[in-house]
Chains A and B, each alone.
Chain A
Amino acid sequence: MSEKYSVIGTRPIRHDGADKVTGRALYGADFQMAGLLRGFILRSPHAHARIQRIDTSKAEAFPGVHAVITTKDFPQVDGTKMVDLGEGLMPLAYARGNVLAGDKVLYRGHAVAAVAAINAHVAEEAAALIEVEYEVLPCVLTAPEAMQPNAPILHADLTTKELGENTGKVSNIADHIRFSIGDTNAGFEAADLIVEREFNTATVHQGYIEPHNATALWNTDGRISIWCSTQGSFVVRDATAGILDIPVSQIKVTPMEIGGGFGGKIPVYLEPVAALLSKKTGRPVKILMPRQAVFEATGPTPGSYMKVKIGAKKDGTITAAQAYLAFEAGAYPGAMVVPGAMTVFAAYDLANVLIDGYDVVVNKPSTAAYRAPGAPNAAFATESVIDELAEKLNLDPIDLRLKNAAKEGTRRADGPKFPRIGCIEVLEAMKNSEHYRSTLTGPNRGRGVALGFWFNIGFPSSCTLNVTADGTVNLIEGSTDIGGSRTSIAMQAAEVLGLKAEDIHPSIVDTDSIGFTAVTGGSRTTFATGWAAYEAAQDVVRQMKERAAKLWEVSPDSVTAEKGLYKSNGHSIGFKDLAARIAETGGPIVGRAAVDPRGAGGSFAGAIVDVEIDPETGKTTILRFTSVQDAGRAIHPAYVEGQMQGGSVQGIGWALNEEYFMSNDGRMMNSSFLDYRMPTALDVPMIETIIVEVPNPGHPFGVRGVGEANIIPPQAAIANAITRAIGTRLTRLPMNPPAIMEAIWCQKSSSPHS
């Protein structure tokens, strides 16, 4: 903890703690209301098909059913109109299509119709009576296959944007982007050693434990109320309004507590459907997504095919780097290949870079963001190649990275130069860590390291502070809390006001009650909403100075405030005592701020992992794991550590076990927590954390968002560790036991001594 701060850097109990440990906190599925109907969504059994006919009559006649809807129930609007649903511009037909299919279904699980009934069982029974006639079409499931000229086409109106130009050519390639600096041909010429490898990663899901949920009431006055678990209540409002083609002011979204998101609860799936059912029935309608539908029909992260080629001199100086990234977007364009391309070599100061990225649609659910989207895929490739270079050049893998590390002033491939960043500091913390300096001995064991970078975003946030007569402050904000952020935001206000964190009472409110606030995601919440709280607190201090001035009959300019103590010319009064006098000195004090901050500081994260491979089963045991991350300034260190540990374990699951097993006809065969194998408590050790603080010059307290970068390095770090343990490199994720056994057997059979 820094001497200059009283609250920042401490570990107060979170404000929502009592509710969360007693089961009293209300999440979206817990919402109750008189007259509630339950909704159920009928989903496509086929990965790619034309819908010839839908007959809902039997379902409508089923006892207990109040309404059935299909795409026909959307207000009729031109589907080519472009809408921004918080993930970039897309045609309205695409946005609607993912919520309720239009004339085609594009993935197994694609929503086709919805039923509202007196309870969930009746709704599900009735949905089974909806008759849908499909013309099944061939499906395509990977980016390389979908990019072939004779691949089945998903969208007849999707034409490839080639390097910024719309080619007018219909294909599954939505976009081909490129970043380049310098001359990679010359760079590779100058290299003493070139390593080039191909990589594949399977589709993985964010795996939040709480399924999607939404309750909607389309009231008699035309106003729509929505209660849901979301990472962005304003996104729900604007996306639902966009899809239903109604003004945003017609919708009020009340965010309930949310049980995990990681990017997957930014898009809307249920809200427009629940709203339409409510309109048709005149009742509030609640829809809960079954777990199988969460896997099959929400937004996993792209599977990918990548090639990375890096050339270096004998002393480890990288002379050129080239990447080819083909990411699966799922059914609709928007694979996060651009951030993948922006981060793939971002950790290195390079003169010659060429990056090509492809956004490719396939017959899988439409991908959404997953914690630093695109970057883990890209880093798996780059950090594996860097490791191979280190091995072949006989250099320490961290030293090789230090030699080429990005720093302030390094120009990135996408154009801008880095401001003050902590890349070198993170690498040095890794190198000096007890873990890295310890010796790892024993057969079938190996150690690996990797590095990752994420930009972090700004975007708008609003905050209001109301001072209470007893000297506490109510903090009103709109950032839904997925990890303890309401407390780190309250701490920033407390620091300015000279109060304890416990004296601030944060509330997360609905979209009518607070100014626009962007999503909880992109590692922005502690940074941006914290900044809004900081500014609102400054506003309160200014007003408190005026009140003190009134009490003492002096000019407000003569009043100083420090850590909650107000002084002028021999007078002094503390915040609490001054708060008791507000009523008589001019009435309530409301501090407010709305920020759209620039200066979001990027965060570097590293991973060091020791593994042991069982040569008979291929099982990987994580012996030791250290996560290192630049947090700028850790507002609440326990929750910063928590982000690092959580992201690391997601990375471990991504590296070792998680994948969508797809049948040839596009069915996910493991759509349950039993077979979509996420880490349990038994699968991981304690996750050691090292918080590096290179303060972000752009933020009043130096905050850098920490939520995302930590999921980027684990996959490559584990791949590098496995390589050293078994002597052969795996280039496909997940590196599960069968994959490891196959690698071991291939190695044995090709060995001269086998």
Chain B
Amino acid sequence: MPSKTHVQTTINGEPRDFLCEPRQSLLEVLRDTLNMTGTKEGCNDGNCGSCTITLNGRLVNSCLVLGVEAEASQITTIEGIAQGNQLHPIQKAFLENAALQCGICTPGFIVATKTLLEKEPHPTEERIRFFLSNNLCRCTGYDKIIKAVQQAAKEMSA
């Protein structure tokens, strides 16, 4: 059996540590080792965005990051978006705009949207579409997702 590395990192503001094989992706570690199943696997080759997290403030596909690369990093996942018992305005906006149908892409979209709105609080529709073009959705046709992001942008900059 391949030997495991001990990784110490911070996830959603909390220190976490885990053992992982060199070949395991961060996505796999989150889901299978840490039981944080909110981050989803859609393709495992970086083309659908359902595994989107932030790594040191940067939006990444966690399927393209190795578990060992998480050492001494700051990771945010969907589980860290809600504010305690209160939904984040982005989460609220997704629900109010019916911006999800099956919901499998939703965690990735929410994490990506949060990063977008932190960088650009007043994005145009085109900028929203461009920034979110790495997140595939097959159910909604994107219309209501864009509207949810626009609503969240308004609320967050109010």
**Which residue of the partner chain A has the closest CB to B144?**
A642
Query: Does A209 contact B136, Cβ atoms closer than 8 Å?
Result: yes
Cα–Cα distance between A547 and B151 once the two chains are bound (Å): 47
Query: Does B43 contact A673, Cβ atoms closer than 8 Å?
Result: yes
Q: Does B62 sit at the interface, judged by CB under 8 A?
A: no
Query: Does B43 contact A291, Cβ atoms closer than 8 Å?
Result: yes
Cα–Cα distance between A63 and B96 once the two chains are bound (Å): 51
With an 8 Å Cβ cutoff, the count of chain B residues facing the other chain is 61
Query: Does A14 contact B102, Cβ atoms closer than 8 Å?
Result: no
Q: Which residues of A contact B24 (CB under 8 A)?
A: 121
Cα–Cα distance between A291 and B48 once the two chains are bound (Å): 10
Q: Does A678 sit at the interface, judged by CB under 8 A?
A: yes
Q: Which residues of B contact A208 (CB under 8 A)?
A: 102, 104, 138
Query: Does B41 contact A646, Cβ atoms closer than 8 Å?
Result: no
Query: Does B95 contact A260, Cβ atoms closer than 8 Å?
Result: no
Q: Does B73 sit at the interface, judged by CB under 8 A?
A: no
A contact residues, range: 35 or more
Q: Does B100 sit at the interface, judged by CB under 8 A?
A: yes
Cα–Cα distance between A63 and B39 once the two chains are bound (Å): 30
> Would A207 and B138 be within 8 Å (CB), given that A30-B37, A291-B45, A674-B45 are in contact?
yes
Task: Identify A210's interface contact among B42, B98, B128, B142, CB under 8 A.
Answer: B42
Query: Does A27 contact B138, Cβ atoms closer than 8 Å?
Result: no
**Which residue of the partner chain A has the closest CB to B139?**
A646
Cα–Cα distance between A210 and B40 once the two chains are bound (Å): 8
Q: Which residues of B contact A121 (CB under 8 A)?
A: 21, 23-24
> Would A681 and B138 be within 8 Å (CB), given that A23-B39, A23-B79 are in contact?
no
Query: Does B136 contact A646, Cβ atoms closer than 8 Å?
Result: no
> Would A681 and B133 be within 8 Å (CB), given that A22-B38, A209-B50, A260-B138 are in contact?
yes
Query: Does A22 contact B98, Cβ atoms closer than 8 Å?
Result: no
Interface residues of B in 1-56 (CB under 8 A from A): 1, 21, 23-24, 28, 31-32, 35-45, 47-48, 50
Cα–Cα distance between A290 and B104 once the two chains are bound (Å): 16
In angstroms, how far is the closest chain A Cβ from the Cβ of B133? 4
**Which residue of the partner chain A has the closest CB to B35?**
A32
**Which residue of the partner chain B has the closest CB to A647?**
B141
Cα–Cα distance between A29 and B51 once the two chains are bound (Å): 13
Cα–Cα distance between A24 and B106 once the two chains are bound (Å): 11
Q: Does A669 sit at the interface, judged by CB under 8 A?
A: no
Cα–Cα distance between A171 and B107 once the two chains are bound (Å): 49
Q: Which residues of A contact B137 (CB under 8 A)?
A: 209, 681
**Which residue of the partner chain A has the closest CB to B93?**
A21
Query: Does A259 contact B23, Cβ atoms closer than 8 Å?
Result: no
Query: Does B145 contact A681, Cβ atoms closer than 8 Å?
Result: yes
Q: Mark B139-154, 1 if CB is under 8 A from A, else 0.
A: 1111111100000000
Q: Does A551 sit at the interface, judged by CB under 8 A?
A: no
Q: Which residues of A contact B141 (CB under 8 A)?
A: 642, 645-650, 679, 684, 687
Query: Does B95 contact A21, Cβ atoms closer than 8 Å?
Result: yes
> Would A681 and B102 be within 8 Å (CB), given that A27-B40, A672-B43 are in contact?
no
Q: Does B64 sit at the interface, judged by CB under 8 A?
A: no
Q: Does A1 sit at the interface, judged by CB under 8 A?
A: no
Query: Does A483 contact B42, Cβ atoms closer than 8 Å?
Result: no
Query: Does B98 contact A638, Cβ atoms closer than 8 Å?
Result: yes
Q: Which residues of B contact A16 (CB under 8 A)?
A: 103
Select the residue from B98, B102, B146 with max chain A CB neighbours within 10 A: B102
Query: Does B91 contact A21, Cβ atoms closer than 8 Å?
Result: yes
Q: Which residues of A contact B133 (CB under 8 A)?
A: 680-682
Select the residue from A17, A18, A290, A681 with max chain B CB neighbours within 10 A: A681
In angstroms, how far is the closest chain A Cβ from the Cβ of B54? 14
Q: Mark B71-84, 1 if CB is under 8 A from A, else 0.
A: 00000011101100
In angstroms, how far is the closest chain A Cβ from the Cβ of B6? 18
Q: Which residues of A contact B91 (CB under 8 A)?
A: 21-22
Interface residues of A in 109-135 (CB under 8 A from B): 119-121
In angstroms, how far is the closest chain B Cβ from the Cβ of A7? 16
Cα–Cα distance between A442 and B79 once the two chains are bound (Å): 48
Interface residues of A in 1-30 (CB under 8 A from B): 11, 13-14, 16-18, 20-27, 29-30
Query: Does B45 contact A483, Cβ atoms closer than 8 Å?
Result: no
Q: Does B122 sit at the interface, judged by CB under 8 A?
A: no
Query: Does A210 contact B102, Cβ atoms closer than 8 Å?
Result: yes
Q: Which residues of A contact B45 (CB under 8 A)?
A: 291, 672-674
Query: Does B135 contact A24, Cβ atoms closer than 8 Å?
Result: no
> Which A positions have Cβ atoms within 8 angstroms of B?
11, 13-14, 16-18, 20-27, 29-30, 32, 63-64, 119-121, 206-211, 257-262, 288, 290-291, 482-484, 638-639, 641-643, 645-650, 672-674, 678-682, 684, 686-687
15 sample A-B contacts, Cβ–Cβ < 8 Å, listed by A number: A14-B95, A22-B79, A207-B138, A209-B102, A257-B103, A258-B102, A259-B103, A259-B105, A261-B102, A290-B44, A645-B142, A646-B140, A673-B47, A674-B47, A680-B129
Q: Which 9 A-B pairs have the closest CB atoms?
A: A23-B38, A259-B104, A649-B141, A645-B141, A23-B78, A673-B47, A20-B103, A638-B98, A30-B37
